[in-house]
A = this chain, B = another copy of it.
């Protein structure tokens, strides 16, 4: 995902391409794990926390970023990039996060829709695994 892709994605939706948005994008791109708002702010120095919140929200709306909930008491965010659907394993003890790929959720979504009275379409899903990492498991 190049920067022109970002610019285009933003423009296409009526968003302007600004310095804070570019910086935030770059921070996310370097990260190897989903980041909290505070972490993103740390990485950009100079960009206000509120701007990080608003930018991540904008990125989410244009589909550049995914919000991840790992039961840590705050939301995390990561670039979707070209990467297919991937998810996470989290150590419930030390909070270590690993990615994994290969979530075939379509059958589950189909079954859910079949049961549902009020929904006819799924537009997104979250799937996270929780465990003990080998390090914490030995303690």
Contact = CB atoms under 8 A, between A and B. Distances in A.
Interface of A: 67, 69-71, 73, 75, 87, 89, 91-92, 96, 98, 100-105, 107-109, 111-112, 115-135, 137
Q: How many copies does the complex hold?
A: 2
A89 B69 contact: no
A129 B109 CA distance: 7
B129 A100 contact: no
Contacts of A130: 122-126
Contacts of A123: 92, 130-132
A88 to B, nearest CB: 9
B121 A100 contact: no
A57 B61 CA distance: 33
A69 B88 CA distance: 14
Contact of A119 (B75, B87, B122, B133): B133
